[in-house]
Amino acid sequence: MIKKFLKLFSNHTLLFTLVSILLGLIIGALILLAAGYNPLQAYGVMIQGIFGKPKYLSYVIIRSTPLILTGLSIAFAFRTGLFNIGAEGQFIIGSTTAVAVGYFLHLPMILHIPLVIVCAIFAAGFWGGIAGYFKARFGVNEVISTIMLNWVALYLQNFLIYTHGFQKPGGEVSYSIQPTASIRFLNEWKLSDEGTQWLIEHPFWRDFFKTPINWGFLIAIAVAVLLWFILKHTTLGYRLRAVGFNPNAAEYGGINVKKNIVISMTIAGALSGLAGAVQVMGVSHNVSLLAAMEGYGFDGIAVSLIGSSTPAGCVLAGLLFGALKYGGPKMQPAMGAPSEIINIVIGIIVFFIAMPQLIRLLLKFTQKKKETVTETVEIDYVG
């Protein structure tokens, strides 16, 4: 099972991705060099900032979690031939719903947590489904409708934050969710006598647990496995992929193309909504006034692209992204190197991955004899 799961991230695609990442890092190094910084030192600081302490690792995981989920959302829609630019808005709907249900309701934890998650998934799934319905019913391109829905979601959240009963007095933020809706790791145990004792005896974990580390990451992994299962082993996944590859053949085969478009966008919306909920329940506990998009959805596009739209790929790409985004900016205080460099590196990686032809050429160059390999890359990438 696990072997199969890893196999999805097929060798050639993996090779291809690794080359892109390497190129991104090399070009980033050249830029650092041109700006007068020692790239080895800068990357050293970054790596130190990622792996240096258990706490850092913990933060990388926290940063990765929402990106993995939005990445999965975009990847899933993509497998059905849809481009879900709306992850951003679905994320917002999910997080706002999570705050509302998490704050207003008072329930025991065992009910509260699942209820918050389910509500957020439903609301954001509905939000994504709107775009799917518009596409299926009126032929409205999902790229356009989801971009518009993103702004609607943003202003909806801002409107709610200024609503009496929701806004926390004295701030441009909402009230925080009840403790019963939090998914922080072992929150109470950490403060109990027994917990403090154990943590003192285990310094690694003490440092690791200093952060708002939460169940979100495990939820994301579970969801990735679930999606892999759906795509690979269920008739639903079969139909969605058929529609994505060739809607004409799907229609001929008796598959209801329109229905599957709505289903796909609904599931994609639900996934982004889950990302928002997990972020609220695990990290922020509230939502605040948004001046602009936060970028979880847009980063998700890059994650999905780097992960070649496979579930396992999204998990790895999400972690990479989280690490770069967390460790990269540490260059700035340490040596004054602009932290924007890391955004450039990410941009370049995405750029190379989106430009398969060039990488293929590079691969061909290095292994002239084994031309069959490069041909399979082509097929893999399409699949």
Partner 1 sequence: MPSKQIPVVEMKNITKKFGDFTANNKINLTVYKGEVHALLGENGAGKSTLMNILYGLYPPTSGEIYINNKLVEIKNPNIAIQHRIGMVHQHFMLVKPFTVTENIILGMEKTNRFGILDLKKAAAEVKELSQKYALLVNPDSRIEDITVGMQQRVEILKALYRGADILILDEPTAVLTPQEIYELGKIVHNLTNEGKSIILISHKLKELKIMADRCTIIRRSKYIDTVDVSKTSEEELAAKMVGRKVSFVVDKEPKTPGEIVLSVKDLMVKDNRGISVVNGLNLEVRRGEILGLAGIDGNGQSQFLEAITGLRKVESGKILMNGADITNHTPKEIFESKISHIPQDRQNRGLVMDFTVAENMILETHSNKPFSKNGVMDHHQIKSFTTKLIEKFDIRPTDETKIAGTLSGGNQQKVIIAREVTHDPDLLIAAQPTRGLDVGAIEYVHESLVKQRDENKAVLLISLELDEVMNVSDRIAVMFEGKIVGLIDAKKADMETLGLMMAGGGSA
Site for partner 1 contains 233 (CB under 8 A): yes
What CA–CA distance (Å, rounded) separates 124 from 221? 20
Q: Which stretch binds partner 1 (CB under 8 A): 59-67, 168-176, 245-253, 265-273?
A: 245-253
3-state secondary structure of 255: coil
Cβ neighbours for 56, distance < 8 A, ≥ 6 positions apart: 49, 50, 326, 327
Site for partner 1 contains 249 (CB under 8 A): yes
DSSP state of 282: I
Let me know if 79 is exposed, middle or buried by CB neighbors in 10 A (0-12, 13-18, 19+). Answer: buried
The only residue of 34, 138, 169, 248 in contact with partner 1, by rule CB under 8 A:
248
User: What is the token pair recorded at 343?
Assistant: 């955004």
Closest CA to 303 of 323, 332, 277, 284: 323
Of 188 and 375, nearer to partner 1 (C-beta) is: 375
Q: Which stretch binds partner 1 (CB under 8 A): 15-23, 83-91, 182-190, 233-241?
A: 233-241
What CA–CA distance (Å, rounded) separates 267 from 17? 27
CB of 218 to partner 1, least distance (A): 24
The only residue of 235, 357, 365, 366 in contact with partner 1, by rule CB under 8 A:
235
Count residues binding partner 1 (CB under 8 A).
26
Of 110 and 382, nearer to partner 1 (C-beta) is: 382
The only residue of 52, 171, 253, 333 in contact with partner 1, by rule CB under 8 A:
253
The only residue of 50, 62, 242, 341 in contact with partner 1, by rule CB under 8 A:
242
Q: Which stretch binds partner 1 (CB under 8 A): 58-66, 115-123, 217-225, 370-378?
A: 370-378
What is the Cα Rg of the chain in Å?
22
What CA–CA distance (Å, rounded) separates 199 from 194? 9
CB of 232 to partner 1, least distance (A): 8
Closest CA to 46 of 330, 292, 314, 383: 330
What CA–CA distance (Å, rounded) separates 247 from 258? 9
What CA–CA distance (Å, rounded) separates 367 from 309? 26
The only residue of 63, 241, 285, 330 in contact with partner 1, by rule CB under 8 A:
241
Q: Which stretch binds partner 1 (CB under 8 A): 61-69, 86-94, 260-268, 371-379?
A: 371-379
Render the burial of 22-53: b for 16+ CB within 10 Å, e for the rest. Answer: ebbbebbbebbeeeebebeebbebbeebbeee
CB of 246 to partner 1, least distance (A): 5
Of 22 and 222, nearer to partner 1 (C-beta) is: 222
Q: Which stretch binds partner 1 (CB under 8 A): 70-78, 206-214, 262-270, 375-383?
A: 375-383
3-state secondary structure of 111: helix
Closest CA to 268 of 67, 64, 87: 87
Site for partner 1 contains 193 (CB under 8 A): no
Q: Which stretch binds partner 1 (CB under 8 A): 174-182, 186-194, 213-221, 231-239?
A: 231-239
Angle, CA 109 vertex, CA 159 and CA 183 arms, to 5°: 65
The only residue of 141, 163, 234, 367 in contact with partner 1, by rule CB under 8 A:
234
Binding site for partner 1 (CB under 8 A): 233-236, 238-239, 241-242, 245-246, 248-256, 371-372, 375-376, 379, 382-383
